[in-house]
Chain A
Amino acid sequence: MEDLAIISAYKERRDATCFRLLYDRYAAKIYGKALTMLKKEASAKDATQEIFTKIFLSLGKFHGQSKFSTWVYSVTYNYCIDLIRKEKRSRDIFADEVENPPDIEAEEVPDTALMNIKVNELRQVLRNISETDRRLLLLKYKDGIKIKEIAKMYDKNESAIKMQLKRAKEKAKRKHEELFGSEKDE
């Protein structure tokens, strides 16, 4: 059954089955995206609850102009960004870049270099880099958000995001080598 059909049935009858169908389809994905943004599991759980309530109370505003999933994810990211802004953490997003400009000469780390790390090692690496870098890497490679969208999300231009992402990849690769040694050397 398609999302739109479930939504219109829910709007008509506020049927619990429709609620559960949509919930089962999107809850875990929303949680994953909230975790990317908020880092802590408890915060991501609370955010999922708030976002779902918000989505169901605003279903009247959704008229199917875009895909339901697109609308749901934009509500999710907007909610998380608002939350981060309230906690005054987002203003630090580029502080690191200003203080310590990126090394332009550094060799670009290929995407596959990070994607092929073992998942437990990746988890460790992400725990040991800055929150900004962690969030950018996860938005790009875990959630599959385009650079253009990330730039819009943070109200920055695309080249600033590309540069920040390049640095984040370098740092993550370096951290991986530091923690686990370079596999190429073995």
Chain B
Amino acid sequence: MMNSFLLLQEQEQQFFVKNCEEDVRDAVESRLKTVYLISDILEHFFPMLSDTLTVMAGGNTINPEDAYLTDDKDETARPTPEAPEGE
């Protein structure tokens, strides 16, 4: 005989799947999308906004370097090839 508490749990879960699952999923998805959108906008425009505020306060903007060295471009990061034996 099955434990009645587990049967109760099963019935509750079935009720959720039948009646609320989609509503809750849609609500969570739309809330997450909104939060991500706001955070993406902030991430994208925050440097520009902080530069604007700095200039308005009488300071200078930070001039970003034209090109940043990456691991691939940085020669010092590459292991130097060993000379083949016998040479």
In the complex, are the beta carbons of A14 and B36 less than 8 A apart?
A: yes
Determine the chain A residues whose CB is within 8 A of the CB of B11 once the complex forms.
119
Partner of B32, one of A53, A116, A117, A119: A53
Q: Is A53 in contact with B28, judged by CB distance below 8 angstroms?
A: yes
Asked if A49 meets B24 with Cβ closer than 8 Å, knowing A28-B13, A31-B16, the reply is yes
Known: A14-B36, A31-B12, A45-B20. A115 touches B5 (CB 8 A): yes
Name the CB-closest residue of B to A45. B20
- Which DSSP category, helix, strand, loop or mixed, fits chain B's interface? helix
Chain B 1-31 near chain A by CB (<8 Å), digits 1 or 0: 1011111110111011100110111011101
Which of A23, A41, A53 has a CB less than 8 Å from the CB of B31? A53
Which of these, B5, B8, B25, B36, contacts A23 with CB under 8 Å?
B25
Q: Is A93 an interface residue (CB 8 A)?
A: no
Whether A32 lies near B12 (C-beta < 8 A) is yes
Chain A interface extent, by class: 20 to 34
In the bound complex, how far is the Cα of B5 from the Cα of A180, in angstroms? Answer: 18
Q: Contact between A23 and B20 (Cβ–Cβ < 8 Å)?
A: no
Question: Min CB distance, B36 to chain A, in Å?
Answer: 7
Q: Which residues from B are CB-within-8-Å of A56?
A: 28, 32
Can you list 23 A-B pairs, Cβ within 8 angstroms, ordered by A? A19-B29, A19-B32, A23-B25, A23-B28, A29-B13, A31-B13, A32-B9, A32-B16, A45-B20, A45-B24, A48-B24, A53-B31, A57-B32, A115-B5, A116-B1, A117-B4, A119-B8, A119-B11, A123-B8, A138-B5, A142-B5, A142-B9, A143-B9
